[in-house]
Chains A and B, each alone.
Chain A
């Protein structure tokens, strides 16, 4: 079936505006991850959803960042009052892992490239 999709693919916004990024995981995948990748740097974990469990928000860099997921479907990542430092590629991944197992491959979406002017 279809892979992980994200929208928009690119977003340019002005400093101080709010943005909302969307992730559609692979159908049936219970785990969903958001990562951020700044230019030339590795992935930074942001948040992890596993089924109906409380999400792991330990990677969110500030209270301007929040994410939601309804059941095992779409997730949205919201950044309020954007700053230039928020400019990055925001990546979503999903996997069928259950119970914290990491034997399953994480499949990443194409990312949303965010530029804050």
Chain B
């Protein structure tokens, strides 16, 4: 059974700091891994999608890496801003034969102080 764990559960940093969010998963047979952002009371916004054959993806100040063999992914946020404050979710999609079941981590709640 796939389990996704995110550490830390919460993080508070001053504006401008670079930070790393961690995601680990128990079954390396994944199809892809996706990082989402969720703002209070809203749905998910997709940030980065990494296919199982890829090692990293970048978008602006965000960089996500994937080490499938060790069951780990990290989301790096450069030069954090107060607007980055949100909950960040890691989601793993199982291989297609398992159906489109996406397992989400519990999230890391990030607060960036101005």
User: Is B a genuine binding partner of A?
Assistant: yes
How many angstroms from the CA of A18 to the CA of B55 in the assembled complex? 40
Q: Is the interface of B mostly helix, strand, loop or mixed?
A: strand
With A33-B43, A42-B48, A43-B44 in contact, is A102–B100 under 8 Å at CB? no
Determine, out of B11-19, B22-30, B34-42, B75-83, the stretch whose residues face the partner at the interface. B34-42
User: Contact between B104 and A105 (Cβ–Cβ < 8 Å)?
Assistant: yes
User: Contact between B100 and A111 (Cβ–Cβ < 8 Å)?
Assistant: yes
Q: B101, B103, B106: which has the most chain A beta carbons within 10 Å?
A: B101
User: Contact between B104 and A42 (Cβ–Cβ < 8 Å)?
Assistant: no
Interface residues of B, CB < 8 Å — how many? 23
User: Contact between B43 and A48 (Cβ–Cβ < 8 Å)?
Assistant: yes
Interface residues of A, CB < 8 Å — how many? 26
In the assembled complex, A59 has its CB within 8 A of some CB on chain B: yes
Residues of B within 8 A of A (CB): 34, 36, 38, 40-49, 87, 89, 99-104, 106-107
Residues of A within 8 A of B (CB): 3, 33, 35, 41-48, 56, 58-59, 91, 93, 100, 102-103, 105-111
Closest 8 CB pairs of A and B: A42-B46, A42-B49, A45-B43, A48-B43, A108-B100, A43-B46, A45-B44, A108-B102
